[in-house]
Chains A and B, each alone.
Chain A
Amino acid sequence: MGYHCIVLVKQVPDTANITGDAMKEDGTVNRAALPAIFNPEDIHALEAALEIKDRFGGTVTVITMGPPKAADVLRASLYRGADRAILLTDRRAAGSDTLATSYILSQAVATVENYDFVFCGRQAIDGDTAQVGPQCAEKLGIPQVTYLEKIIDVQGKKATLRRNIGGGWEDVETPLPVLVTVIESANTPRPVSAKRYMKNKYKRVPLEFAPDAPEAAEAEAQGDMLEQWGLDEIHADLQRCGFAGSPTKVFRIQSIVLKKEGFASVEPTEEGIRGLVHELIEDRTLG
């Protein structure tokens, strides 16, 4: 039996690698030019679930929401040890803010059923909002434990967890099911297992095949088809999804005009820098 863990993961543009090539003329980011990666903290969330499975027994289900390409993070999760992977994809989910996103994800979790833990990364690097985890917990009507540092123990329907409280920690005891958000210091994610890689590398979601491609039927026959759900499968109220379900609206996007006043170029030489230090002492910035 053991514990059933659901992990919510996201594929994100690699914001750490925004280079000149990834910028458009108008100064916005060309997402297509950025590599898409497994959101870093979500890998730690997956590891926490796998740790529960290793230490206390159970299964791990991974859910992601995104375009068909996001199935990459599902495969990456299967390579590391997840047992089941589901892609949530639906055009009508486009434009969802965190509230609508958490509604959709919580409907998916509720559809999977019978879970003891829901793990997510604390936040995704493309927004840093850290909202979706707690919002899902509220929608599922379960407690939340944020910023997991360590899984201390799980016994029966209770878990003892250490959480980071910003300059310190705290140990809490929580009833199950619980939603837990995970930070990087919680664990060291295991590497991809070669065996699991071989076993799962051909797994695809239906939308990754061209319509009516014979390969699709083949994948189905081989057991290589991953689950793909839309909003209907999770019985979502469309009024709560996408733009309609998102109270926050972008009113205006402005590019910033940088002020260019009183700029002095300083030579990178001993001479130049001595002059600068002298100037800063004179105007009392230093000393």
Chain B
Amino acid sequence: MTSENNQNGEVWVFAEQDNGKLQDVVLELCGRARELADKLGVKVGAVLPGSKVDHLAAALYSHGVDRVYLVDDPRLEFFTSLPYAEAVIRLIRKYAPQIVLYGATPLGRDMAPRIASATRSGLTADCTDLQISDVTDAKTKEVAKDLLLQIRPAFGGNIIATIINPAGWPQMATVREGVMPMKEADPSRSGELFREICDLEDALFGVKVISRCKEEKKVNLKAARIIVAGGGGVGSRENFRLLFDLAGALGGAVGASRAAVDGGYIDHDYQVGQTGTTVRPALYIACGISGAVQHRVGMQDSAKIIAINNDPNAPIFSVAHYGIVGDLNEVIPMMIKAVKERN
């Protein structure tokens, strides 16, 4: 596989920006990268490709970054996979970071695998936690020092898998927005700016963006104080109306499980969980959601959880503070009524 692991390598975050604005997930990752780097005694680096994006360095420093590697090139104004990936690949080869983290955004999920392929390194998708630990090989009893533990729910069941890359560094992972809580910025922190000349060949720019239409995100689940979420048990797109009504009465937002999204009841933007958004509202009301681990990891840190499910054995009840065993089609209208009485 790849060359020696660089134990002194930095912890890097890919600083994804769109139109000169950093994605929230980048700053969330900077906070965790800082913790990992402190544990390892190394610096935090951020790779920032784009056009006229130097001004973003300050926000990165204030969220824990020591060094910003800026690749400023007018041809990088809009993301295309090859030049962006190539810029990161060249910087990885030049500086040999030990860890690289990416937001599991559409862009991150497009580019990170391409980088992993070129550097032949491991890449774990949609991690819900990242830690540093020594790992003893079960067979050889050899101890690998300070590996990145990449933790994510495993397919099916109440199972969490920990993935490691003993060889094939950098150790790379993608993380969804909201999984790592954003730390408060410290505007007094500063860092060093490295202007990188990558000499990206014209051949890398074969794919051209001709036109583009981007809407502001309609759904902002992370900011909601109250979330009313529906699952497979809601049964139809029409029936999701009920949840919007309850959310309306409570002044909250609507969320969903993957079964509801896959069933076409609601758009993916509303999905809560490992491959959706992670939320921590004051109140989470799960309606007709079984509570699979991939869903729970995205909502179990809510301050209060109410579960409405007609199956008394549904796993959702084990993370709930209040459980209502019943038909959501009856319970939700009752709840709307009770809330309206109070208002």
Contact = CB atoms under 8 A, between A and B. Distances in A.
**Do A and B truly interact?**
yes
Interface of A: 13, 15-16, 18, 22-24, 26-29, 97-99, 102, 126-135, 137-139, 143-147, 160, 164-175, 178, 246-256, 258-260, 262-270, 272-274, 276-278, 280-281, 285-287
Contact of B334 (A102, A250, A270): A270
Given A248-B163, A265-B325, A268-B331, 12 more contacts: A16-B259, A27-B159, A29-B156, A129-B126, A130-B125, A146-B106, A167-B215, A171-B212, A246-B122, A263-B320, A263-B321, A265-B324
- Which of B155, B226, B318 has the most A CB atoms < 10 Å from its CB? B155
Q: Ordered nearest first, which 8 A-B pairs have the shortest CB separation?
A: A268-B326, A247-B168, A29-B156, A247-B122, A168-B214, A258-B318, A138-B117, A131-B113
B207 A173 contact: yes
B155 A126 contact: yes
B76 interface: no
Nearest to B211: A171
A273 B323 contact: no
A274 B320 contact: no
A262 B96 CA distance: 48
Given A15-B156, A174-B207, A253-B154, A248 B113 contact: no
A145 to B, nearest CB: 7
Contact of A248 (B124, B226, B326): B124
A67 B54 CA distance: 51
A145 B81 CA distance: 8
A29 B81 contact: no
A272 B117 contact: no
B65 to A, nearest CB: 24
Contact of A264 (B211, B226, B321): B321
Interface of B: 1, 78, 80-82, 85, 105-107, 109-114, 116-118, 120-126, 135, 149-150, 154-168, 206-218, 226, 250, 259, 262, 269, 274-275, 282-283, 292-293, 303-304, 306, 315, 317-327, 330-331, 334-335, 337-339, 341-342
Contacts of A26: 157
Contacts of B320: 263
B250 A266 contact: no
Given A274-B341, A276-B322, A174 B206 contact: yes
A171 B274 CA distance: 29
Contacts of A286: 226, 250, 283, 339, 342
Contact of B167 (A23, A167, A172, A247): A247
Nearest to B212: A170
Contact of B165 (A102, A164, A249, A274): A249
B interface: dominant SS: mixed
A245 to B, nearest CB: 8
B125 A131 contact: yes
B293 to A, nearest CB: 6
Contacts of B339: 277, 286
A21 B16 CA distance: 43
A266 B307 CA distance: 10
A268 B342 contact: no
Contacts of A255: 157-160
A271 to B, nearest CB: 9
Given A250-B161, A263-B317, A135 B114 contact: yes
A248 B165 contact: yes
B120 A247 contact: yes
B282 A264 contact: no
A128 B111 CA distance: 15
A169 B164 CA distance: 35
B209 A144 contact: no
B163 A250 contact: yes
A266 B283 CA distance: 16
A165 B338 contact: no
B212 A98 contact: no
Given A143-B81, A247-B1, A259-B319, A169 B213 contact: yes
Contacts of A254: 159-162
A247 B330 contact: no
B117 A102 contact: yes
Nearest to B149: A251
Contacts of A143: 81-82, 206-207
A99 B122 contact: yes
Nearest to A137: B114
- Which of B111, B165, B167 has the most A CB atoms < 10 Å from its CB? B165
- Which of B116, B315, B320 has the most A CB atoms < 10 Å from its CB? B116
A258 to B, nearest CB: 4
Contact of A18 (B117, B135, B156, B324): B156
A256 B159 contact: yes
12 contacts: A132-B113, A134-B117, A165-B107, A165-B214, A170-B209, A170-B212, A172-B210, A175-B206, A253-B154, A254-B162, A272-B324, A286-B226
A253 B160 contact: yes
Contacts of A98: 113, 116, 123
Contacts of A27: 157-159
B334 A99 contact: no
Contacts of A267: 324
A253 B165 contact: no
Nearest to A255: B158
A256 to B, nearest CB: 5
Contacts of A102: 113, 117
Contact of A268 (B216, B250, B330): B330
Contacts of B306: 266, 276
Given A135-B113, A256-B158, A256-B293, A165 B324 contact: no
